Amino acid sequence: MKLIKTGTEGLDEVFFGGIIADNALLVEGTPGAGKTTLGLQYIYKGALQYHQPGIILTFEEEPDKLYRDALAFGWNLRDLESKNMLRIIPSSPEAVHDMLLKPDSGFSRLSKSIGAGRIMVDSVTHFRRMTDNTQQLRVLLSKFLTGLMHLTTSAVLIKEIESSEKEGASIEEYIVDTVLRLSYEQRTRHRRERFLEVIKSRGQSHLSGKHTVKFTDTGLEVYPVCGALHTLPEGESTAAEPDAQLLSSGIKGLDQMCRGGFPAGSASVVAGSSGTGKSVFATQFLYEGLRRGENVLLITFQQQPPELAAAARTFGVKLDRYLKSGALQVLYLNTIDLSVDELLHELKKRLAGGGASRLVVDGLSQMMQTVEEEDYMVDYLGALLKLFTRHRVTSLFTFEVDKMFGSFEFDSRRTLGLFDNLVLLRYVELEGEIRRAIALLKMRGTDHDKSIQEYVISASGIEVKTKFKGRVDVMGGTGAGQADAVELKDILSDATRWAEATRRLRERQNQPLK
């Protein structure tokens, strides 16, 4: 089965390599969704990158406007015309329909003379002016499409719709092979997002779901939903393999609790409320990797690189030279504009070139707030962690816990259960003082230290001190005496049950797609 590359980054991934040759593609959408731009990009990239000359039939736009709009993305349509790789024909549905019925028409001769491999029609909505009769319209469009496909190997038809949530199928959707629907949706009071969805794909598999679409300086890009789940080479496994190597966390006392450090290739979460030192922990983790000659990638929603370097200097960590050399790369993201699918796409590109062996996401809770559906967030994180496993990346995520004192439960057990290791940082009220406690609630495949230990944040960063002896309910935030609360084994029993439940969840996540 021959596939044709669309020239739109991410869209070929949606179709597992491209669209089938000799298929007609309908691109429908609401105003401002990007229909014409997607069609133009298909024609332009086809001619420039894949040496397939193209024709643009326009029933509403003057050529000068198309030239102008294309130049905004760096597409020089006049240059392609001068090389006999493109023709723009302003016309009407009536005229084009009549020409297609004549084998020796000027349009047919033009198409054959340049060897047109791709034709775009903007837009087929105008054919509805020719008749009000549904049956006549269907016959009219079918004859038009048949004539068009005799002249090319691929046709893209643009169609306007009033709403992306319309019910029922249109005549245009019935007669074509593939239907893409673009939408421009209000997500919050201050934000709109574009999406692409495959409504129909005759004879070809595709990724279902609404894929994020964004305009860039060079055109449209499509970011497939949870793309890493679907694009591994056939037969390649994402299951974590046993790795005897242990990597230092950069915190000596924690390494001792871990029996040497985090397993290479594992994914860890550091959870705690504001001020417990999550970002300090993350900085020590990434700095340890840099000291050992590793490349590190930091994804942050809070600090730009200069702010990050200044904060690190307060506890003796100097990141400037690593930022300058590129050993430390920082990806700063604004949660207002964040698309998690775009982030996954960016990470796939960076890691494909061996860009990092350690990766830090500071913070997971902010990222989760940008996704409305918990089920999708679980699937998304599963895809993200599989991507890291594939590239043998050791990752660390920070997670914000709202409650500072007292007992609490995680609201995101399904999400956090995907990770291999869980470190909990807590405030403790003890004898009239506020102190801090650290515990390893979970560490997959390792007989880790299950004690609860005190830590401080000093001029050198986080330092783990001693166990809370004779105290129980430390993780509940009170540090009560032995006679005043339950035993430590009762406190840790929840972690044991959680570990078992998350093991089953992780097994489900690692099952191959059907």
pTM of the predicted model as reported, rounded to 2 decimal places: 0.79
> In angstroms, rounded to a whole number, what is the distance separating the alpha carbons of residues 140 and 129?
12
271-301-455-495 Cα dihedral, nearest 10 degrees: 10
DSSP letter for each residue of 337-383:
T--HHHHHHHHHHHHHTT--SEEEEE-HHHHHTT-S-HHHHHHHHHH
The answer to whether 217 and 73 have CB atoms below 8 angstroms apart is yes
The predicted structure's pLDDT at residue 466: 87
Which tokens is 411 given?
């609201």
Sorted by sequence, the CB contacts under 8 Å of residue 340 that are 6+ apart come out as 367, 370, 371, 380
> In angstroms, rounded to a whole number, what is the distance separating the alpha carbons of residues 348 and 115?
37
SS (H, E, C) 437-448: EEEEEEECCCCC
The predicted structure's pLDDT at residue 485: 39
Which tokens is 281 given?
């922990």
The predicted structure's pLDDT at residue 171: 93
The predicted structure's pLDDT at residue 393: 96
The predicted structure's pLDDT at residue 477: 52
| Burial classification of residue 252, based on how many CB atoms lie within 10 Å of its CB (0-12 exposed, 13-18 middle, 19 or more buried) | exposed
> In angstroms, rounded to a whole number, what is the distance separating the alpha carbons of residues 66 and 501?
57
The predicted structure's pLDDT at residue 239: 43
Other C-beta atoms closer than 10 Å to the C-beta of 125 total 18
> In angstroms, rounded to a whole number, what is the distance separating the alpha carbons of residues 116 and 121?
13
| Burial classification of residue 64, based on how many CB atoms lie within 10 Å of its CB (0-12 exposed, 13-18 middle, 19 or more buried) | exposed
Tell me the sheet residues that pair with 28: 159, 181
Backbone CA torsion sign across 309, 314, 315, 321: positive
Q: Which of 260, 231, 234 is closest to 247 using CA atoms?
A: 260
The enclosing H or E element of 269 equals strand 267-272
> In angstroms, rounded to a whole number, what is the distance separating the alpha carbons of residues 34 and 490?
58
The predicted structure's pLDDT at residue 234: 43
> In angstroms, rounded to a whole number, what is the distance separating the alpha carbons of residues 193 and 213?
8
| Region of residue 457 (phi > 0: left; psi between -120 and 50: alpha; otherwise: beta) | beta
Q: Which of 284, 294, 323, 296 is closest to 307 using CA atoms?
A: 323
From residue 23, alpha-carbon distances to 20, 43, 50, 148 in Å are 6, 15, 17, 11
The predicted structure's pLDDT at residue 481: 53
- DSSP-derived 3-state class of residue 465: strand
> In angstroms, rounded to a whole number, what is the distance separating the alpha carbons of residues 224 and 207?
8
Q: Prior bond to 105 cis, omega within 30? A: no
Which domains are seen in the chain, by residue range? Answer: 3-225 (3.40.50.300), 246-509 (3.40.50.300)
- The ranges of the chain with pLDDT < 50 are 228, 230, 232-240, 242, 472, 482-492, 494, 513-514
| Mode of pairing for the β-strands spanning 210-216 and 219-223 | antiparallel
